[in-house]
Amino acid sequence: MSIRERLSGNEAAAFAMKQINPDVVAAFPITPSTEIPQYFSSFVDNGQVDTEFVAVESEHSAMSACIGAEAAGGRAMTATSANGLSLMWEMIYIASSLRLPIVMSLVNRAVSGPLNIHNDHSDAMGVRDSGWIMLFSENNQEVYDNLIMAHRIAENKDVLLPLMVCQDGFITSHSIENIELIEDDKVKEFIGTYKPDHFLLNEKEPMAIGPLDLQAYLFEHKKQQADAMRNAKKVILDVAKDFEKMTGRKYGFFEEYKMEDAEVVIVCMNSTAGTTKATVDKLRKEGVKAGLLKIRVFRPFPTEEVANALKNAKAIAVLDKADSLNGAGGALFEDVVSSMYVSNIHVPTVDYVYGIGGRDTTMKEIESVYRDLLKIVETGDIQNPYRYLGVRGDK
C-alpha cells in the first residue's frame, strides 16, 4: 500500500534519495536546489542512511567528487541549479564520457546574466548535448517517481550514462502537493544493488580512468556514447513497465493529453503542462479540438514516437522555456520539427519562447496560443514561426 504524504518537490527529491541510500552524495548549495542536500543531510545526521555526505567548496567539486565515487564503484548522487550546473560544465562532459551512471536532481533556474534566481530551462538546455539522459517532471509526484526509476535506467549495462531529473524551480521545488510514496523495502528491491563490472577499487583488475584519448580512438568512444543513448530508449520503457507494476503509475516518453482527435496541439515540458491541461479542458468545452503533448524524456529524444503522435494535428505550437538566441527557435522546437521532417510529416509548426526568468504564464496566454493555431488552420498562413509569449513590447 502506498504512503500518502504532502511534500514539496525538493522534499520529494530528498525523500527519494533517502530511500535510494546512495554511497556518496556531494553537493554545494544554490537556490532553488539547496533544500535537497539540506534535507538529505538531516537523514545522514539522523542515521537514516549510511551515505557519505561530502560538503564541497563548489559545484565543480561536487561533480568531481561524484565522478570519483562512481569511478571507485559507488553509487553517487547530487543536486544543483543554473549557475551551479554551469560551474560543473567541464565535469558534466567528463561524467558522461567516462560512462558513469551518476544521478542528479536539476532544479531548473535561469542562468546568469543578468542574475535571476527564478525558473526557466536555460540551465538544462545548456547541457542538452552533453551525453546525460534528461527526464522532465510536471509535478512533485513525477519528481519522486523519476528519481526512483533513474538508477535502474542509468546503471543498465546497455546504457551506463549519467541521468538528470529536472523540475521547475520554485514552481514545483517549493510548492507542496499531495504525493504517493513507495514503501522503503519495495524501493530497495526495485533499485537493487549497484554492481559495476569495472571500477577503480577492484584490485583484481587494475585500470586507468580518464586517460588521454587522441585521434586513434576518441571518435569511436563518442560513437559508443551515442549508441548508449539510443539504447536508453528501450531501457526507459522497460523500467517504466516494472514501475507501473509496482505502483500503478504509467510513464512513457511523453504524455498525450486529449490527443485522440486533436487538431491544434501544444508541445511543452515540466510544470507548464498543468496550465496547458486546464486550458485544453476549457477549450474542449467550447468545441475546440485542443490537445497537449508533454515531453518527459528529452534525452534521448524520442524522434519517431513524437512524429507519430503529432502526425494527425493540423497545427502545432512548441513552447520553449529558454531562448537558444540563434534566430531560429528554441531547442525543443528544433527537435520537434527535425523529428517531423525526418519522418516526412509536414504540419504547420510555430515556436513560442516563454516564461524567461520566472515570468508567469497564464491560462489566458496559453489559450491565445491555441487561438493562433486555429487561425493558422483556417488561413494556412504561418507568418513568423519564431514567436514570444508574454513578453512586453512584442508586436
Number of domains in the chain: 2
Residue 77 has pLDDT above 90, yes or no: yes
> What's the average model confidence in pLDDT over 33-44?
98
Same domain, 234 and 359: no
Percent of the chain at pLDDT above 90?
Answer: 98
CB 355 within 8 A of CB 120: yes
Is there a domain that residue 17 lies in?
Answer: yes
CB 126 within 8 A of CB 99: no
User: What is the pLDDT at residue 75?
Assistant: 98
Question: Side chain identity at 296, as an amino acid letter?
Answer: R
Is there a domain that residue 97 lies in?
Answer: yes
User: What is the pLDDT at residue 125?
Assistant: 98
User: What is the pLDDT at residue 256?
Assistant: 98
Residue 231 has pLDDT above 70, yes or no: yes
Same domain, 162 and 306: no
Is there a domain that residue 395 lies in?
Answer: no
User: What is the pLDDT at residue 393?
Assistant: 84
Same domain, 159 and 195: yes
Residue 343 has pLDDT above 70, yes or no: yes
Residue 395 has pLDDT above 70, yes or no: no
Q: At 168, which helix (H) or strand (E)?
A: strand 163-168
Same domain, 269 and 203: no
Residue 89 burial class via C-beta count within 10 angstroms: exposed 0-12, middle 13-18, buried 19 and up:
middle
Residue 288's CATH number: 3.40.50.920
Same domain, 338 and 306: yes
> What's the average model confidence in pLDDT over 158-170?
98
What residues have CB less than 8 Å from 97, skipping those under 6 apart? 131, 221, 222, 225
**Average pLDDT over all residues of the chain:** 97
Is there a domain that residue 215 lies in?
Answer: yes
- Neighbour count for residue 90 (Cβ, 10 Å): 11
Is there a domain that residue 23 lies in?
Answer: yes
Q: What tens digit of pLDDT does each residue of 344-374 get?
A: 999 999 999 999 999 999 999 999 999 999 9
Q: At 71, which helix (H) or strand (E)?
A: helix 59-71
Same domain, 241 and 286: no
> What's the average model confidence in pLDDT over 331-335?
98
> What's the average model confidence in pLDDT over 50-55?
98
Residue 110 has pLDDT above 90, yes or no: yes
> What's the average model confidence in pLDDT over 294-321?
98
Residue 2 has pLDDT above 90, yes or no: no
Same domain, 266 and 223: no
Same domain, 81 and 226: yes
Residue 308 burial class via C-beta count within 10 angstroms: exposed 0-12, middle 13-18, buried 19 and up:
middle
User: What is the pLDDT at residue 164?
Assistant: 98
> What's the average model confidence in pLDDT over 240-259?
98
Q: What backbone phi and psi angles, to 5 degrees, belong to 163?
A: -140, 135
User: What is the pLDDT at residue 352?
Assistant: 98
Domain of 337, in residue numbers: 254-389
Question: Side chain identity at 36, as an amino acid letter?
Answer: I
Distance CA 269, CA 167 (A): 10
Is there a domain that residue 394 lies in?
Answer: no
- Neighbour count for residue 324 (Cβ, 10 Å): 17
Residue 326 has pLDDT above 80, yes or no: yes
Same domain, 182 and 326: no
CB 219 within 8 A of CB 179: no
Residue 34 has pLDDT above 90, yes or no: yes
Is there a domain that residue 123 lies in?
Answer: yes
Same domain, 9 and 149: yes
DSSP state of 297: E
Residue 1 has pLDDT above 90, yes or no: no
Which of 191, 213, 247 represents a domain boundary (last residue)?
Answer: 247
Same domain, 289 and 153: no
Same domain, 217 and 264: no
> What's the average model confidence in pLDDT over 81-97?
98
> What's the average model confidence in pLDDT over 142-149?
98
Which of 228, 247, 266 represents a domain boundary (last residue)?
Answer: 247
Which of 187, 214, 247 represents a domain boundary (last residue)?
Answer: 247
> What's the average model confidence in pLDDT over 219-239?
98
Q: Is there a cis peptide before residue 302, judged by omega within 30 degrees of 0? A: no
Percent of the chain at pLDDT above 70?
Answer: 99
User: 52 to each of 27, 45, 246, 375, how far by Cα in Å?
Assistant: 11, 11, 29, 57
Is there a domain that residue 72 lies in?
Answer: yes
Residue 65's CATH number: 3.40.50.970
> What's the average model confidence in pLDDT over 136-150?
98
